[in-house]
Each structure stands twice: as C-alpha cells, then as structure tokens.
C-alpha cells in the first residue's frame, strides 16, 4: 500500500493577510505527517504529528491561537479515530491542554471510554502525565482583541458570523499497511457559550475512519455539521460512488440543503485518493500522495 495524507486548516473566510500563513501552516503539517508515513510510521502517528504542528501554530483555531469563549476562556475539542480497529477517543470543553489531539488519542488508547469532557478530561490528562499549561499559552493577543470586540457587541450568535470563523484543523492519513486514521482539533467558535461543544469531538460528525470505507475530517459551523453527521455521510457517498470528489460534494450539498450549513470536508479513500469540498469562501488544505514530489497546499 502506498501512503497518502491530507490536512485542513479550517473552512470560512480567511482574511487576506492570513492566507499565506494558512498555506504555510498546512504545508508544514502535511509534510511532517508525510515524513512519518514514508519512514514506515503508522497513520495514527502521522495524523497526530500533523495536527500537533497546526495546534502549535497560532494561525489556526486549535491549541494555541484558539478563539475565546464568552467568558474569555479557551475550551478545546478534539477527536481521533483508528480505522483499523474502529477505536475512537475524544475530548470536549477541555482547558489548559496544549495539544488536545494527543489527549484524544490517549482517551482512545488508554481509557475504556470514547469521550471525556471538561474537568474529567483534565483529571485524566494529569493522570496520563500531560502537563497543564496557562491560559496565555493558548490565548494569543489577536484573540483577546476579538473577544473584547465581541464583548462590546454583546454577540451570542446562534449562527456565528461564519465570515470570520475558520481555523479548525484536521488530518486523514493512510499508511503502508493500509491503515487509515483521522483526527480533528478545534477551539470552537468565537464567543461560544461556556460548555458549548461542536461537531469536532463527535464521532461521525467531525471525523471518521474505517480502513474499509476511508477516512474524513470536517470543519465549519459545528452545529450544522453535527446535525447531518457530515464525516460519516461523506463516506456513505463514497461507498455509493467510489469517487472522493463526488462524495465530498454530495455531503456538502446535504449540509447546505438540509440545515443551511456551512463547512468543508477532506477525505481519503481506502487506496489513498484524496477528496475535498467546501461551501465557504475558503478552506485551507494540503495533501500528498504517492507519486507526488512535494505536497500541494491550497487556500
Ligand atoms: N467546527 C468547529 C466547531 O464548530 O466547533
């Protein structure tokens, strides 16, 4: 089996001054994940590596650089799936963790559960030896300023201003053993209610992986994505059509038609063909498959 990897850095409207940072950030992530795969590493390690790079890059709404909630706190969601055994791990509304994708993987590999939230997730993290960080390790000046602006506008929008919402990160990888993994990580939406959880840690909505059917990661307005189980829906269309581009387009069409949703999706077929589609002005994504000399990044 020849390796393949695709990442995204969020669907929405990316301000012109941030386009290049999104391109560079997704490129760095995909090349790091690719390196893991060509050295014979697992899809799980490639997905973790690629997402950690984007969580550490303050360009994105994940890990450092995340949007603040209505109380000026950072609450993070992440989901991880091993398509070879249908194992799932996820965390939601978790604070003071630099790399929630690692914690989601730990839930998958070292607990009997699929989803841990808030204080329970933090206690599990401490038990697993994860260091806790400070709010200021995650919240950057750009986001404090946004929070103050939104505070002033007293916005508690039911549908967030999608024009500005972007930056969830995700990855799907296929390794040399034919195993697929998928993961997604986010700080959620700006000014969200404390405790609000979007699609990202919900298996089948924000992420899905099955060696037999393929893998997906989603981004966009989480409340709409969750209602149509976008990640699993795209794999349903892939089973029907065999075409990754048609499958992602069909899933996004349902998102738009049924729930007036906005978002994007990346996908890998079981043999490593990439697909992507979005109905927002931008989505940052990058991919590399066998036979390519370098990754392609698009914003
Ligand atoms: N898709 C990210 C979120 O809505 O939280």
Q: Which atom of ligand 1 is nearest to the CA of 222?
A: 4
Q: φ, ψ for residue 166 (rounded to 5)?
A: -160, 165
Segment 11-43, tens digit of pLDDT: 999 999 999 999 999 999 999 999 999 999 999
pLDDT (0 to 100) of residue 167: 87
* In the chain, where the domains are located: 4-298
State pTM to two decimals: 0.96
Average pLDDT taken over every residue of the chain: 95
Ligand 1 pocket, 190 CB below 6 A?
A: no
User: Cα(203)–Cα(108) distance, rounded to whole angstroms?
Assistant: 12
Active-site residue, from 26, 166, 168, 189: 168
Asked if CATH classification 3.60.20.30 holds for the domain at 4-298, the reply, yes or no, is: yes
Task: Quote the ligand 1 centre to 110 CA distance (angstroms).
Answer: 26
pLDDT (0 to 100) of residue 162: 53
Handedness of CA 261, 265, 225, 118 (dihedral sign): negative
pLDDT (0 to 100) of residue 161: 53
pLDDT (0 to 100) of residue 272: 98
168 is catalytic: yes
Task: Quote the ligand 1 centre to 190 CA distance (angstroms).
Answer: 10
User: Cα(77)–Cα(116) distance, rounded to whole angstroms?
Assistant: 10
Ligand 1 pocket, 79 CB below 6 A?
A: no
Ligand 1 pocket, 220 CB below 6 A?
A: yes
Q: List, for the chain, all residue ranges whose pLDDT scores fall below the cut of 50.
A: 163
Q: φ, ψ for residue 37 (rounded to 5)?
A: -70, -45
pLDDT (0 to 100) of residue 152: 74
pLDDT (0 to 100) of residue 157: 56
Ligand 1 pocket, 219 CB below 6 A?
A: yes
Task: Quote the ligand 1 centre to 207 CA distance (angstroms).
Answer: 12
């Amino acid at each position: 089996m020849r390796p393949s990897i695709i990442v995204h850095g969020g669907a929405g409207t990316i301000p012109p001054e941030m386009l290049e940072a999104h391109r560079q950030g997704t490129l760095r992530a995909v090349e790091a994940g690719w390196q893991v795969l060509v050295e014979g590493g697992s899809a799980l390690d490639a997905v973790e590596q690629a997402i950690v790079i984007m969580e550490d890059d303050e360009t994105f709404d994940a890990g450092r650089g995340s949007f603040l909630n209505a109380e000026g706190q950072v609450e993070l969601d992440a989901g991880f799936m091993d398509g070879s055994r249908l194992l799932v791990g996820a965390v939601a509304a978790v604070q003071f963790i630099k790399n929630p994708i690692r914690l989601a993987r730990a839930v998958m590999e070292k607990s009997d559960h699929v989803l841990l939230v808030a204080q329970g997730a933090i206690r599990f993290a401490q038990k697993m030896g994860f260091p806790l960080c400070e709010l200021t390790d995650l919240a950057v000046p750009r986001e404090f300023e946004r929070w103050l602006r939104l505070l002033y506008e007293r916005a508690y929008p039911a549908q967030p201003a999608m024009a500005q919402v972007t930056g969830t990160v995700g990855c799907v990888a296929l390794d040399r053993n034919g195993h697929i993994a998928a993961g997604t990580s986010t700080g959620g939406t700006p000014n969200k209610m404390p405790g609000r959880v979007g699609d990202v840690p919900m298996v089948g909505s924000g992420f899905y992986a099955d060696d037999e059917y393929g893998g997906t990661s989603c981004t966009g307005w989480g409340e709409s994505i969750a209602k149509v189980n976008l990640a699993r829906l795209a794999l349903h269309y892939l089973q029907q059509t065999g075409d990754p581009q048609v499958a992602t387009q069909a899933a996004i069409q349902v998102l738009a038609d049924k729930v007036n949703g906005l978002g994007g999706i990346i996908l890998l077929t079981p043999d490593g063909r990439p697909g992507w589609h979005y109905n927002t002005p931008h989505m940052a994504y990058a991919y590399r498959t066998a036979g390519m000399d370098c990754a392609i990044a698009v914003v």
